[in-house]
Amino acid sequence: MQTILGASGTIGTNLAKSLKDYTQDIRVVSRNPRKVNVTDTLLAADLTKRAEVDTAVAGSEIVYLTVGFEYQTAVWRAVWPPLMRDVVDACEKHRAKLVFFDNVYAYGPESIPHMTEESPIAPISEKGKIRAEVVRTLLTAVKKGRIPALIARSADFYGPNTGGKSVLMQTVFENLRHKKAAMWLGKVDKKHSFTFTPDAARGTALLGNTPDAFNQTWHLPTDGDALTARQWVELFARELNAQAKVRAMPAWMVRALGLFVPLMRELGEMLYQYDRDYVFDSSKFTKRFSMKPTSPVEGVRAVIADSAARPGS
C-alpha cells in the first residue's frame, strides 16, 4: 500500500492521481479524506496526534508526507517538528519508506539565485528554521539507517485549482482575470521559477516508485527557463486577453500592511526570495528521468482552461 498523509491538499490530490500509474492500493489520509481514484482507501486522521499517525502509516510500503498546515510561524513551530518525529518513528516501526514533499525555505538567501540539491541549509526566516529542523530530523534518521527516505523539493508552485496556496495564482492570475492590475512582492524584473503542480505530483510519484532514488534529495521537475515576474504577468495577460499591468509591492509596504493583514505579516520575513533572482535547478531530475517539465506557456494555458471549466469561476 502507498499512503498519502495530507491527501486533501493540492499536492496530495494530484499525487493520488499520479500514483494510480503505479498501484491501485492507495490510502488517502486527512481530516476529511475524499476519494480521488475509485479504488482509494479513505482514512480520517488528525496527524497532530501520534497514535493517529501510527495508524495511518501501518501497513504501508511507501508513505508520502504532503501535509500543508496553516501559513503561520506559530502553527508551524507547534506542529511540524513533532509530526516529522512521529512519521519517522511510525515508518521505522512499520518498515515503510518515506517521501517528504518539501519547499525551499531552508535554503539561505545566497542560494536563492541558483538553487540546487547541494545548496546549503542556512535559513534566516523563522519558517525556514522550522523547515531546517524538520529536514535534519529526517536526514539524521536516514544516516542512522532507521528508514529509507527521500526529499522531493519544489519551488513556489502554480497550477490548476491551487487558489490561495500560490502567490502567482493569487496576486497575478486572479487579479488579471478580474480585470485588475497584477500585484507582485518585491522586484518585477527578477527571475522567479515556479513548479507546475501536476509536474510536482508526477515527479514525486516517480521518485517514490524508483528504489535507487531513496536516501537522496531531489528537485522536482521545473522549467529551466525562469521568467521574470513581469514576464509571468505578460504571459497570463496575453492568454487572458487582459492588460499586462503590474504593481510592485515594496518591502516597506508589505511590512506596513503586516500590521493589519495577517498574511502580509507572515510573508514579510520571506521577502528575500523576491528581491533577487529565484532560480530552481532541477537538472539532476531531468538528467535521471525522461519526464520533461511543463513549459510556462503550457502551464498558464492549463490554469486558464481549468478555471473556465469550473462552475462559478
pLDDT band for position 164 (cuts 50, 70, 90): low
Residue 118: CB partners within 8 Å, gap ≥ 6? Answer: none
For residue range 65-89, what is the model confidence (pLDDT) as tens digits? Answer: 999 999 899 999 999 999 999 999 9
For residue range 213-271, what is the model confidence (pLDDT) as tens digits? Answer: 999 999 999 999 999 999 999 999 999 999 999 999 877 787 777 776 666 777 788 99
- Share above pLDDT 70 across residues of the chain, in percent, rounded to a whole number: 97
The domain limits of the chain are 2-156+195-219, 159-193+224-309
Grid cell for residue 147? 528508514
- Full-model pTM: 0.95
pLDDT value for 257: 73
CATH of domain 2-156+195-219: 3.40.50.720
Average pLDDT, whole number, for the chain? 94
pLDDT value for 29: 98
At the top level of CATH, the class of 159-193+224-309 is: alpha beta
